[in-house]
Structure 1
Amino acid sequence: MKKVLVPILLFVACSWLSSCDLDDDSPNFYFAALNVVEADVPESFEFGETYDIEVTYQRPNSCTFFEGFDVTRSDQTDRDVVVIGSVLVDEDAACTQEVTEVVATLKFHVIYTGEYHFRFYAGEDENEEPIYLEYTVPVNPEPTN
């Protein structure tokens, strides 16, 4: 039994002593809000339906990648939408500084009646105050049987 147990314990001890440290405290990316140029919202919603809202945003360089949407509810039918990107900070990466417009799809499910108010983050003004593109979309009433 000792002949089996000693090699196993020796292997475990060596594994602990030779483990590598992955915490070098220098992340190779960070998250950033990307500016929305336009959102293609429908003229009206149907209650209970899901819609694809095409959102055009600016990709500031080739080292910025789309990660998704941050949608916050400020009231029952008010939504603030921010496009989130990850930006690489690797010094070895060759990033072109060309601004391109890219389209991403936001899936939105209508769960309330009334009007939905959307505010899409579009950047900051000269005073570093946020700018929003605002859209109001009414919800058609539920059909009565």
Structure 2
Amino acid sequence: MRKLVLFFVALFLITSCSMDEDNPQFHVQFVPAVEVTMPEYFVHGETYEINVKYKRPTDCYFYDGFYYSQDGNALVIAVQTLVIEDANCESLESLDPEEASFTFSCNPDYNGTSYLFKFYTGKNADGHNTYMEMEVPIAQ
């Protein structure tokens, strides 16, 4: 996953430095998760598919995978998109959310009793990131 993110960052840097106006410019942006389907619990060493529904505001947003970072038992996850700049975009607000999934492997050596997932849901009135938090216990 990190290699894919690095590839797109490198691609972004290369294209953003281009003087050719025929190349579309884009930037990376997170879109809010609106619904998440998680298992009730994890078992050490098992792998799980996690489904995330999200909304693209316009048709200039293109799904680009998931961003994630981990700190202990907490995982911050966001739906990442590439946004085409300076284009005529049509609103997608009235459409149903789209769905994407990723796999999560419960580390067999993890000593904690649960994982805390924090899914990015946007920004509040003060401009701070907001999250949908879901704690999933590990079966003993």
TM-score range, shorter chain: 0.7 to 0.9
Structure of higher CA gyration radius: 1
Local SS of the residue matching 2:65: strand
Q: 1:85 Cα deviation (Å)?
A: 0.3
1:97 corresponds in structure 2 to: 91
Q: Deviations over 1:62-106 (max 9, x none)?
A: 11011011110022x210001100011143xx4211224111001
Distance 2:20 2:81 in 1: 21
Q: Deviations over 1:5-55 (max 9, x none)?
A: xxxxxxxxxxxxxxxxx8217761110011011111111011101100000
1:55 counterpart letter in structure 2: V
Gaps of 5+ in 1: 1-21
Distance 2:32 2:82 in 1: 13
Cα RMSD between the aligned structures? 1.7
1:65 corresponds in structure 2 to: 62
Query: Which has more strand, going by share of residues?
Result: 1
1:56 paired with 2:50, answer no
2:137 corresponds in structure 1 to: 138
Matched-pair identity in %: 32
1:108 corresponds in structure 2 to: 104
Gaps of 5+ in 2: 1-16
1:78 paired with 2:83, answer no
Q: TM-score scaled to structure 1, two decimals?
A: 0.75
Q: TM-score scaled to structure 2, two decimals?
A: 0.77
